[in-house]
Amino acid sequence: MFYFTSGKEVAAVENRIIFLIDMQSFYANLEKLAHPLLTDKPVVVAGDPSIRSGVILAACPTAKSYGIQTAEPIWQAQNKCPHVHILKPHMQFYVNVSVTISSFLEQYSAAVEPYSIDEVFLELPAMEQGKAEQLAQHIKQRLLREIGVQARIGIGTTKVYAKMACDHFAKESRTGTAVLNDANAAELLWPLPIGRLFSVGNRMETHLLNMGIRTIGQLARHPLYDLKKRWGINGELLWQTARGYDTSPVSPSTHQKRKSIGHHMTLPRDYYHWSEIKVVLRELSEEVSRRSRQHTSLGQVVSIGAVGQEYGFKRSFHRQQRLFEPTNSGRVIFETASALFKEYWDGTPIRSLGISLSSLQPAHYKQLSLFDTDEDLDSLYHTIDQLKDKYGMDAVLHASSLSPAGQAMIRAKKIGGHYK
**DSSP H stretches of helix in 106-223:** 129-142, 159-165, 185-188, 202-210, 216-221
Q: CA 404, 410, 399, 308 torsion: positive or negative?
A: negative
How far is it, in rounded angstroms, from Cα 43 to Cα 35?
A: 10
Length of the chain: 420
Mean pLDDT in each 10-residue stretch from start to end of the chain (420 residues)? 39 73 93 91 82 77 93 90 92 88 89 92 90 94 91 95 95 92 95 94 91 95 93 93 92 67 85 94 92 87 86 73 90 94 91 88 66 62 77 78 79 61
Provide the pLDDT for residue 11.
40
Q: Which helix (H) or strand (E) holds 292?
A: helix 274-294
CB atoms within 10 A of CB 369: 10
Rounded CA-CA distance 260/255 in Å is: 11
Q: Which amino acid is at 16?
A: R
> By three-state DSSP, how is residue 35 classified?
coil
Task: Say if CB 260 and CB 357 are below 8 A apart.
Answer: yes
Q: In the prediction, which pLDDT does 401 show?
A: 79
For residue 255, the model assigns a pLDDT of: 56
* 8-state DSSP, 193: B
Report d(CA 102, CA 105) in Å as an integer.
Answer: 5
Helices (H), 106-152: 129-142
Residues 352 and 364: their CA atoms lie apart, in Å, by 34
Backbone angles phi, psi at 325, to 5 degrees: -145, 155
8 A C-beta contact, residue 264 and residue 352: yes
Sign of CA dihedral 386, 392, 395, 397: positive
pLDDT of residue 258: 63
DSSP bridge partners of 19? 122, 155
Q: Which amino acid is at 369?
A: S
Nearest 5 degrees, angle CA 59-CA 61-CA 66? 80
User: Alpha-carbon distance 155 to 410, whole Å?
Assistant: 41
Q: Which of 113, 119, 123, 286 is catalytic?
A: 119
The torsion angles phi and psi of 366, rounded to 5 degrees, stand at: -160, 160
- Model pLDDT, residue 394: 75
85-87/43-46 β-pairing = parallel
Radius of gyration of the chain (CA): 24
310 given a catalytic annotation:
no
Other CB atoms within a 10 A radius of the CB of residue 298 amount to: 22
The pTM is what? 0.68
CA distances from 173 to 167, 316, 374 (A): 11, 41, 59
Q: How many CB atoms lie within 10 A of CB 191?
A: 11
